[in-house]
Structure 1
Amino acid sequence: MNTRDWPIRSKLTALVVAPVTALLALWIFATALTFGPAQGLLSAHTLLNDFGKPGEAVVAELQRERRLSVVYLAAEPAQADLVVQRRRTDEAIAELRRRISGDDLRDAASDLLDARLDRLDAALEALPDGRGQIDRREADRTDAVDLYSAMISSAFHAFAGMAALPDPELNRQALAVTAIGRSRELLGQTDAVLAGAFVSGSFAEGEHRQLVRTIVNQRFLAETAVTDLPATERAAYQRLTEQVEFRRLVQIQDLLIATVGDRPPIAADDWRADYNAVQQAMRDYELDQADGLADRSKPTAVRILVLLASAGLLGLIAVVVSVLVAVRVGRTLAGRLARLRTVLERSEQQLPELVARMRRGETVDVEQEVPAVDYGADEIGQVGRAFTAVRRTAIRAAEGEVNLRRGLNEVFLNIARRSQGLVYRQLAMLDRMERRTEDPDELAELFQVDHLATRLRRHAEDLVILAGAAPSRGWRNPVAMVDLIRGALSEVEAYRRVDIGGVQSAGLAGRTVGDLIHLLAELIENATGFSPPDTRVHVTGVRKDDGYTFEITDRGLGMSTEALADANSLLDSSPEFDPARTDRLGLFVVARLAARHRVRVRLRRSEAAGLTAVVHIPDEVVTEEPPPSGTDAPDGGQRGGSGAARREVPRRPATGPEQLVPAGTTSVTTVGEPATTGAEAVQVEVAGEIDGLPRRVRRRPSTDSRGRAGGASVPPVGAAGASRQQRATGPDEASADGRSGSTSSSPDGLIAAVPGATGPAVDGPTMRQPALGGGGDRRASSADPTPRSPEEARRVMAALQAGTARGRRVAATQVPKSEYGPGLRPKEPSDDPEPPTGTERDT
């Protein structure tokens, strides 16, 4: 039995119950051991009256019937005396059976006496059969003596059981009286043998030897029993033996022992007179001794009961005192220990509250929060004082940890802010380099560096979020959900593998745009990083009654049940960032961003394979889809305040240009395959954009004469004058034509193209727009376009630089991503090193 895990109250109870139970058991045992003998002594009168005297009467009647039966077998006289004696014997037996069947005798008798009474009753059952044998003379004189002697012996055996008194002295005296009774019975057997010999004139065969044995046994029993009697009773017996009849009877016995012949040496009258006198005197002595024993047993029983009651009372008092003392001591110990447990439970609640207060910057007084409590001077008091010291040490340690964590957060935040400054300077430098560059190949490489810089900015913002601060980017006006997805794709490396489909129309409040872009980018990049490179990642958006839900589904290996439950628990609780869990950085970022705007993020297994990230945006930040940033002017040629025109510009057969997506379109597909060879015309916005993320579609790039695939669109040159007007347009201005981009015809009938979106270039068969103007035919028929004038080249470069500058302004509010995607699994290297082609930086 293991008692280590028992409650302290149970241990104290066991400590008290064990000795008290043992003491109580000893008290009960002593009481039972003493009460039994006392009850036996008290029942001595009942046994004597209900069995002793009736039993002795049966013995006397059986002895008389035995002598008359032997006389009947010896001479066949008239049976009148025998019949009368048998009637008297039956009456005595009936009275005895009535007494021994009563409840009083059976309750007072011991188990030993009960068994002997049953054997006596069974022995008396043989009396009718024996009488029949005697009447039919089927038994001789010896058989008759043996028959009656067996029944009398059973009676004396029961008397011995009654004489087993609890008191040793009384028990020895009772056994001595019983032995004297046996001696008298042997004297009765001698009388029966002599009665037969007197009638027949001689002893039967073997009767003389039997007579001698009986006389010897009778004398031995009498002499032995007298020695166990007390002095007074022994003196009384001595007086009995000194009577004249007793002495003459002894002389006759000596003469019978010395006789050699078959005839009795004495006359029947001499024997009868002395025998009757001695038999009656011995019987009276036995009855007197039995009455005396019963009288003496009662005071002894009372004395034993008084001692028993005294011992029982003292034992009960001792048990009660032991219980009271044990309960009082145990209750005191349990109460003091319960105080310690209460303090422990309070500490378990107090310590997190103190840590939360310290993290909020509040000052905590340890002495006041953990006051000294007097627990006493014993061992429990020492434990209490040690526990108080431990609590104070824990609070001081927590305070040091909070200060350390606060310092680390400040370090993270400082590093992040510095990194952000460097990245913004890098982006500005790239902007200047792009403005000065005219070579399309160099411009494409600058776009790749531009995309890497955008991702570096996201990593810096990860540190800002983990440090508990908020990114500095933000929108004032709502942004369409499809633009939210495009903004997230602009920060994903493998954007070409992402399919956007089924995004229902809705808008998002401007205050949450930056954080939601960051959150979606984390989840999308995790999906692309942990699914095979030849699979697609699907993004859908559904408007619901209680908000808006995005689902991002990949076809990867998924997660185990335990890992999935752990990730969902972290997303729900948004715990403090644990530096030891570096494999969950992105998960911490997603949890922080989701908790900031009450967004619910859950991971579940997809129907086919992989995982599905479900992002539910609450209805309080969901709006109607915002109107486009500009509408067509009434005259179809002027844009609100910008006056930008559309022109056609010839393009080299290197890579395909990009095409804008109409503002109302919500289903797009991003791909990265090369398009057909040749020049293509594209519509491009040269003045105006929506307040958020511009939308556009990229034509499939063609392979140029040097064999390069159009993985990164090279911006065109020309239309510089229009692009300068576009740089002057801020992210909060709206164009008047109602579209996300516009074109204007140049004097030479070509179309000028400028990048107009922050996200990766996307295309799809349903999103393409035919090129406007007739320049497409001329580009198809002319492999060597007419050289541009310096003024035309300047306008094209100005338009390109204005587009990239506008893209940086928009991307300034987007959120970087952690090194490991959304934090669910470490990010694998991407096999698509090219950034989105022609992407405008959102600064």
Structure 2
Amino acid sequence: MLALVPSAALILLWAANAYRSLTEGLDLSRQAELGRSLDPKLDTVRWNLETELRISVTRLADPRTSLGALESQRNMTDNSIKKLGDLEHRLQQAPEKVRTAQMPFAVALRDFPLQQLRTQINQRSAATSTVMESFTYLINKQVTSAFQARQVPQGPLVSQAQPLSMLIITSQALHLEDTLMSQGLPSGTMSPDQRVAFMTPLGLQRSMLNYLASIQSPAEQSELARITNTAAWKRMAAVENAVVAARTDARGGMMLSPGTAQWRSDLNQLEAGLEDLIRARTARLLSAQADTAATILRRDIAAALAGLAAVIVSATLSWRVSRSLLHRMAGLRAATLDLATQRLPAIVARLNRGETVDVEAEALDLDYGTDQVGQVAEAFNAVQRTGIRSAVELADTRRGLQKAIVLSARRSQSLVNGQLALLDELERKYQDPEVLTDLYQLDSQTSQLRRYEENLLIIGGAWPGRRGNQPVLLSDVLRSAVGEVSQYQRITVSADDSVRLIGPAVAAVVHLMAELMENAAKFSPPFYPVSVRVDTVLKGVSVEIEDRGIGMAETEYADANLRLAQPPVSDVLSIGQDARLGLLVITHLAVRLGITVTLRPSAFGGTSAVVLIPQGLLVRNTELVHGTEHSNRPEAPAADAVPPDHLRRSGQFWPFDGQRAAAVPAAATSDAPAGPTQNDRAPGEPPPLPQRTPQASMAQELGLVPTPHPHPPEPPGQPPSPERAAHTLSAFQRGTAHARRSSPGSSRT
């Protein structure tokens, strides 16, 4: 396309110029051919019409004029007209210039009432002036048409055509003088009207002769002089002078001079001489036209061929240059796409993995010369260096920011852990139920604060600070997660004690479950339950967290599941663009542990979060009995493992509405502690996950007894009473305190 457009334009320009030049030569050639066959015939018709007019006027002036001479001339006129044939049809095939010039005469000849005039002349009923006007009109049409047809643009032909046209006008004026003189010869007198009319062609004839003397070549002037220097021409000029100088009588008429006796013979000689000269010059002009047309055709053909060769050469060069340019541009485009789709993403991935990138080594310069394409390549080289350098600087900035976030979170976490330790001491110190209720509420909020600090660690690429090595019952893991939710009273857990979670994964799973439960409770109507169910499946254990809200649209479910399935991008700089941090934290933990999290609509109209824990993170009770949990289970990621490669923004999952189910809170249905003790730890290991042992240290009046509950369950849809809430909270928190005390040396980390 780059070479096609200019090549096509060049070809069209060449074709238009060649057509114009060849058409000019062909038209001139056709004009010369038509002139050879037509111009002599037209001159003969003009000559015969002029002669018939002179004899007809003489017949009208003198009845004694012989009719035989008139009829003989009429036959000559008819024969010359017949030789023209169908003049209009022939002119239709002629070049446009000749057709336009000769067509008026052809139409006038077709419409000329020649037979009617002849009948009137025979009967001597026609007026002399009418006959002269009719014939003169047709003769003037022929002269004018011939003059216009001989107008050619070529210089050499102009110098021949113009004198020929002037000579024809001179001959016509001389014929008209002869006709007017022949009208007065029979009587030897000339009327005033005849004398005035005679002066017009006389003046035209003499002015044409003077003009010819200035435009003719010496050879042409010599040819004309052989006529104008004859005795006949001098006698004619003397008669003309006599008419001009003659005195008129009282009526304005005049007597003709005696020299008019030889007028007839002199004019016949002079008119024949001029007509011969006209035919000779016409023949030379037509021959020159043919030669000029042939020369023009040869020149135009040569020019057309040369132009065609130039077009071919130009098109070939343009095609080769454009092909080379397109090839280079394709290479530059491929390099650009490679940088955008392969190299730069690979560099960014390496930077996300913490690798060091050398900008100069990765920025491969393109060498395309020093022309315009080479300058574009140089600009591309500068762009790719800037892009890679910016990616490196951005990665350094991101890593620095992540380190700052992690450092700040760990310092805050130390304060939170200290506060939890202080709460432990206060819970042991005070036994007043009202005080304990407030302390346990503060304990729960502090646990939530610790989880929020761990969120910062996770999105900063670190791992939650809590860790352990011993397997823990999955039911205890879920109850621990419930304890970190602000509205834990609304959450019910249905799980057995047949499955345990490997120690290194406990803290992360507790955090993941707490995030899902928190979102389910937070974005559910108040006092509506959140159900947690555990089922054993082929690939591991399924934990379903279900709320009763209004759910989400299909597109929102698809978007959330896509985020949960993809590794998160570790870019803390983009977290501010999306407030859904919870989804980001869940994705980090799920990808790190190999856990699958799926969101779907629930049967109650809300949202159900299904968490699939793989077999690799689980330990069956039978395996504990046979001591196989360490022999066939892979180790979970350590706390100091390399941060994940990606980071995903998250946050609010689902709002919902629904009916609150009458269920016992998780805190009221917890089992006995199954967590490890401090003595089970290997030397140097951090303390295991704190286990809350509900009811172990409660006062006897707060324990569960087989007597009716002092506070009957509220009907569905009603919020719990303050007394029942305090009772439940006290029971849950006292069991938690007993779990801490039962493991001396354990602390919240």
TM-score by length of 2: 0.71
Please tell me whether residue 126 in structure 1 is matched to residue 112 in structure 2.
yes
Q: In the alignment, residue 672 of structure 2 is paired with which amino acid? A: G
Q: Return closer, same or farther for 1:206/1:321 CA change in 2, 3 Å cut-off.
A: same
Paired residue for 2:152?
A: 165
Tell me the number of residue pairs that the alignment of Structure 1 and Structure 2 aligns. 653
Contact 1:754-1:803 at 8 Å conserved across structures: no
Q: In the alignment, residue 139 of structure 2 is paired with which amino acid? A: I
Picking from 280, 284, 287, the partner of 1:295 is 287
Rounded Cα–Cα distance in structure 2 between residues aligned with 1:375 and 1:524 = 60
Paired residue for 1:438?
A: 431
Picking from 524, 527, 538, the partner of 2:523 is 527
Q: In the alignment, residue 77 of structure 2 is paired with which amino acid? A: T
Please tell me whether residue 45 in structure 1 is matched to residue 43 in structure 2.
no
Rounded Cα–Cα distance in structure 1 between residues aligned with 2:385 and 2:93 = 74
Could you tell me how far 1:205 is from its partner in structure 2? 5.7
Alignment partner of 2:233: what SS?
helix
Structure 1 segment 366-405 matched on structure 2, within 5 A: 366-377=359-370, 381=374, 384-385=377-378, 387-388=380-381, 390-392=383-385, 394-405=387-398
Picking from 448, 451, 458, the partner of 1:455 is 448
Rounded Cα–Cα distance in structure 2 between residues aligned with 1:44 and 1:321 = 36
Could you tell me how far 1:306 is from its partner in structure 2? 4.4
Paired residue for 1:586?
A: 582
Contact 2:22-2:301 at 8 Å conserved across structures: no
Rounded Cα–Cα distance in structure 1 between residues aligned with 2:118 and 2:613 = 119
Rounded Cα–Cα distance in structure 2 between residues aligned with 1:767 and 1:691 = 36
Q: In the alignment, residue 804 of structure 1 is paired with which amino acid? A: A
* Cα displacement string for residues 591-648 of structure 1 (whole angstroms, at most 9, x for unaligned residues): 43465534245899x99xxxx7664546978999x99xxxxxxxxxxxxxxxxxxxxx
Picking from 730, 737, 741, the partner of 1:804 is 737
Rounded Cα–Cα distance in structure 2 between residues aligned with 1:762 and 1:330 = 90
Paired residue for 1:214?
A: 201
- RMSD (CA atoms): 5.4
Could you tell me how far 1:244 is from its partner in structure 2? 3.3
Structure 1 segment 439-588 matched on structure 2, within 5 A: 439-471=432-464, 472=466, 479=474, 490-494=483-487, 510=501, 513-524=509-520, 527=523, 539=530, 552=547, 574-579=568-573, 581-582=575-576, 584=579, 585-588=581-584
Alignment partner of 1:210: what SS?
helix
Could you tell me how far 1:178 is from its partner in structure 2? 1.5
Q: Return closer, same or farther for 1:208/1:509 CA change in 2, 3 Å cut-off.
A: farther
Rounded Cα–Cα distance in structure 1 between residues aligned with 2:733 and 2:548 = 36
Q: Return closer, same or farther for 1:74/1:685 CA change in 2, 3 Å cut-off.
A: closer
* Cα displacement string for residues 204-229 of structure 1 (whole angstroms, at most 9, x for unaligned residues): 56122212322222222233224322
Rounded Cα–Cα distance in structure 1 between residues aligned with 2:42 and 2:382 = 87
* Cα displacement string for residues 458-486 of structure 1 (whole angstroms, at most 9, x for unaligned residues): 01220232133444568957857xx9987
Alignment partner of 2:152: what SS?
coil
TM-score by length of 1: 0.64
Rounded Cα–Cα distance in structure 2 between residues aligned with 1:509 and 1:304 = 107
Rounded Cα–Cα distance in structure 1 between residues aligned with 2:286 and 2:273 = 20
Picking from 120, 128, 131, the partner of 1:144 is 131
Paired residue for 1:115?
A: 100
Could you tell me how far 1:454 is from its partner in structure 2? 0.9
Could you tell me how far 1:238 is from its partner in structure 2? 0.9
Contact 1:522-1:590 at 8 Å conserved across structures: no
Rounded Cα–Cα distance in structure 1 between residues aligned with 2:534 and 2:76 = 120
Rounded Cα–Cα distance in structure 2 between residues aligned with 1:809 and 1:242 = 158
Identity of aligned residues (%): 26
Where structure 2 has 5 or more consecutive residues not aligned to the other structure, the ranges are 622-658, 677-687, 706-710, 719-729
Paired residue for 2:682?
A: none
Paired residue for 1:73?
A: 60
Contact 2:190-2:256 at 8 Å conserved across structures: yes
Paired residue for 1:286?
A: 278
Paired residue for 2:624?
A: none
Rounded Cα–Cα distance in structure 2 between residues aligned with 1:322 and 1:808 = 97
Q: Return closer, same or farther for 1:542/1:208 CA change in 2, 3 Å cut-off.
A: farther
Contact 1:416-1:460 at 8 Å conserved across structures: yes
Could you tell me how far 1:49 is from its partner in structure 2? 2.0
Please tell me whether residue 599 in structure 1 is matched to residue 597 in structure 2.
yes
* Cα displacement string for residues 78-114 of structure 1 (whole angstroms, at most 9, x for unaligned residues): 7565455445434433433524522xx5555343x32
* Cα displacement string for residues 267-293 of structure 1 (whole angstroms, at most 9, x for unaligned residues): 886322222221111111111011112
Please tell me whether residue 343 in structure 1 is matched to residue 307 in structure 2.
no
Q: Return closer, same or farther for 1:538/1:287 CA change in 2, 3 Å cut-off.
A: farther
Contact 1:201-1:263 at 8 Å conserved across structures: yes
* Cα displacement string for residues 770-808 of structure 1 (whole angstroms, at most 9, x for unaligned residues): xxxxxxxxxxxxxxxxxxxxxxxxxxx999855534489
Please tell me whether residue 155 in structure 1 is matched to residue 147 in structure 2.
no
Q: Return closer, same or farther for 1:457/1:173 CA change in 2, 3 Å cut-off.
A: same
Rounded Cα–Cα distance in structure 1 between residues aligned with 2:496 and 2:185 = 145
Q: Return closer, same or farther for 1:255/1:361 CA change in 2, 3 Å cut-off.
A: same
Contact 2:157-2:289 at 8 Å conserved across structures: yes
Deviates more, 1:154-163 or 1:241-250: 241-250
Structure 1 segment 321-340 matched on structure 2, within 5 A: 321-325=313-317, 327-340=319-332
Q: Return closer, same or farther for 1:187/1:540 CA change in 2, 3 Å cut-off.
A: farther
Structure 1 segment 216-295 matched on structure 2, within 5 A: 216-259=203-246, 260=248, 261-262=253-254, 264-266=256-258, 270-295=262-287
Where structure 1 has 5 or more consecutive residues not aligned to the other structure, the ranges are 1-8, 529-533, 628-665, 673-682, 693-729, 734-739, 756-760, 769-796, 811-840
Paired residue for 1:356?
A: 349
Could you tell me how far 1:340 is from its partner in structure 2? 3.4
Contact 2:120-2:126 at 8 Å conserved across structures: yes
Q: Return closer, same or farther for 1:516/1:685 CA change in 2, 3 Å cut-off.
A: closer
Contact 2:702-2:731 at 8 Å conserved across structures: no
Could you tell me how far 1:202 is from its partner in structure 2? 4.7
Q: In the alignment, residue 101 of structure 2 is paired with which amino acid? A: R
Rounded Cα–Cα distance in structure 2 between residues aligned with 1:798 and 1:217 = 143
Contact 2:184-2:190 at 8 Å conserved across structures: yes
Rounded Cα–Cα distance in structure 1 between residues aligned with 2:670 and 2:285 = 139
Contact 1:492-1:524 at 8 Å conserved across structures: no
Paired residue for 1:93?
A: 81
